[in-house]
Each structure stands twice: as C-alpha cells, then as structure tokens.
Copies of this chain bind each other. A is one copy, B any other.
Amino acid sequence: MTLKVTVWNEYRHEKTHEEVRNVYPDGLHAPIVEHLLSEGMSVRVATLDEPEHGLSEAVLADTDVLTWWGHMAHAEVSDEIVSRVQERVLNGMGLIVLHSGHYSKIFQRLMGTTCDLIWREANERERIWVVEPGHPIAAGLGPYFEIPSEEMYGERFDIPAPDTLVFVSWFQGGEVFRSGCCYQRGLGKIFYFRPGHETYPTYYQKEVLQVITNAVTWAAPTGASPVTFGNRPSLEKL
C-alpha cells in the first residue's frame, strides 16, 4: 500500500535568505520530497503561507505521515491548526519532526515540555551514533555517520525521555545530543530527528534521507480504529 506523506516546510528562509536559497533553490523540502517519491511514496507539500498552512482537514485526513520543518516563524502557526494536527496524530497519523521543528508549537504541544536546548552555529562536524541498531529507523546504517557541517544542538534537551532512543550525536565543539527520539502518543508515532540546519546541504545527504525514509515507514499508521471513550456498562455481573 502506498504511503501518503505530507512534507510540511515553513518555507520562509528560502525566500528571504540568499544563503539558504543557494543551498535549497526549490525549498528545503525539495530533496526530501524527491527522495520519498523515489522510494515509491505518494508525497504532497504544504507550507506556512498557504491557506490553513496547507493543512486542511482534507489534507490531514489523507496523510499517513507528516514531516515538519520550521524555524523562524513558529509563532505564526495558528493554534487551531496545531490542535488539528495534534488530534490527527493522536488518531494515528505519524509525525516526523525535523531539526528546528523541536521548537514548533506542535512538538511542544505533544511533548508537554519546552523542548528547549543549547545551540551554536559554527560550521562544525556532527557524528551521529546509532545506539539502538536493531530499531527499524536505524536499518541500513553503520555504527555512525557524519555530517561535515552542522549547527550544534546540545543537552539538556528538555523533552520527555523518549520511548526509544535511536541516535546520539557527538559534536566537534564538545557537546552531545539525543538526536533520534521515538514516541507513541495516542495512536500516532512521533520521531524527532536532529539534523537539518537551513544553511547546510544536510537534506541531500544519503544517510539523512535513509533515516527519513525509515522513520516515515516506521511511523505509518497501523490501521487501528479510533479509540472511543466514555461511560460503559459493566461486562461482568455486579
């Protein structure tokens, strides 16, 4: 069955920062879209400046897994759409949160914490270590992979302890970070994946795209019926 993925991109840096446009002339989402298409998935793009941020009820209802990249305009995402996405995740849609999406309203909403961290833009090397090599999101990777230039994100990362921790990053400047974090919330699966600063060609890198494919596949809904709650008669004689 073909997976239906909606790739959400804030899509602002690309319009306003030449440095970013040079790296991602068709938007930071473009290489992700191209890759997921090449994996046989059905892919749609949605962006902040579209009506309803491109995330109408119809679009979400037709989405198995949503990927989310945002950075400079988190505050412009409407609370109503955030609630809509949250509800859809709790009803089974997968959600892959990328890089600076850690500070998006939707991730904070689903985590219940600030999701804050320490950071530095200094063009440094990141080495992503696989700590749970038997997890499906690590399939096809070696013991680690390197990203030549990235922004640093470091601990303390203010998240709930992940249900499964798949990756831990090493940074040249001396920090570590929980870089691949799995969560189950309601019927939905969530994966946070650290890399992807807008000024680096991270989303063209083979291993990064492999992880995104793996994560989307892992986060696909199981087909569970919506759970119903409320008052119930007893099943046994009282």
A interface residues with partner B (beta carbon < 8 Å): 86, 90, 92, 109-114, 116-120, 122-124, 127, 129-136, 138-140, 142-144, 152, 154-158, 160-161, 163-165, 168-176, 178, 183-189, 221-225, 227-236, 238
Contacts and interface: CB of A to CB of B under 8 A. Distances in A.
14 contacts: A86-B112, A118-B231, A122-B238, A133-B224, A134-B186, A134-B187, A134-B188, A134-B189, A155-B168, A156-B227, A163-B163, A173-B234, A173-B238, A174-B234
Copies of this chain, how many? 4
A176 B169 contact: yes
Nearest to A121: B231
Contact of A183 (B160, B173, B228): B160
A197 to B, nearest CB: 14
A134 to B, nearest CB: 4
